[in-house]
């Protein structure tokens, strides 16, 4: 499922509601992951989850795999992991593709195509970390990579 929001605060509220609903439906917190491209956004979401009394494990902090809590991480840190439910937040036009990571087409068309493929793969890999439920969200303008995603 994908959902757009008018502000990042509204998006964060929706992420917290979604994670809370998954947990209330019997999902163990450690079977739920929330990720975003930027650490600032994952930090805000992690803080809001904690204020909502949902246990949080920040993957970058190197906590034990056995620690109880919703995994909050950058997209890169989820590579190779799998969860029952995953939120991919911040899938905006300014984050996917991330302009500094993409060579302009007028400079090098082949490198531009390669860079865009890498950006698309990053989002794809994060999305495939979910076994049962995936929630993708954005605030403002959605990424072009969401075209056709329901």
pLDDT of residue 134: 97
3-state SS, residue 27: coil
CA atoms of 127 and 85, how far apart (whole Å): 10
Task: Identify which of 31, 47, 22, 18 has the alpha carbon closest to the alpha carbon of residue 136.
Answer: 18
| Whether 126 contacts 137, CB under 8 Å | no
CATH of domain 2-141: 3.40.50.300
Express each pLDDT in 18-44 by its tens digit: 999 999 999 899 999 999 999 999 999
- 61 CA to centre of own chain: 17
pTM over 0.85? The answer is yes
């Amino acid at each position: 499922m994908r959902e757009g929001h008018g502000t990042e605060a509204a998006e964060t509220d929706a992420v917290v509601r979604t994670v809370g609903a998954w947990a209330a439906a019997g999902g163990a917190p450690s079977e739920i992951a929330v990720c975003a491209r930027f650490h600032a956004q994952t930090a805000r979401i992690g803080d809001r989850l904690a204020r909502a009394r949902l246990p949080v494990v920040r993957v970058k902090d190197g906590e034990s795999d056995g620690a109880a809590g919703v995994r909050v991480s950058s997209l890169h840190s989820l590579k190779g992991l799998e969860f029952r439910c995953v939120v991919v937040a911040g899938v905006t036009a300014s984050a996917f593709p991330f302009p500094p990571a993409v060579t302009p087409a007028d400079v090098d068309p082949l490198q531009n195509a390669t860079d865009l493929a890498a950006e698309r793969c990053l989002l794809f890999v994060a999305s495939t970390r979910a076994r049962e439920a995936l929630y993708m969200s954005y605030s403002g303008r959605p990424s072009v990579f969401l075209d056709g995603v329901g």
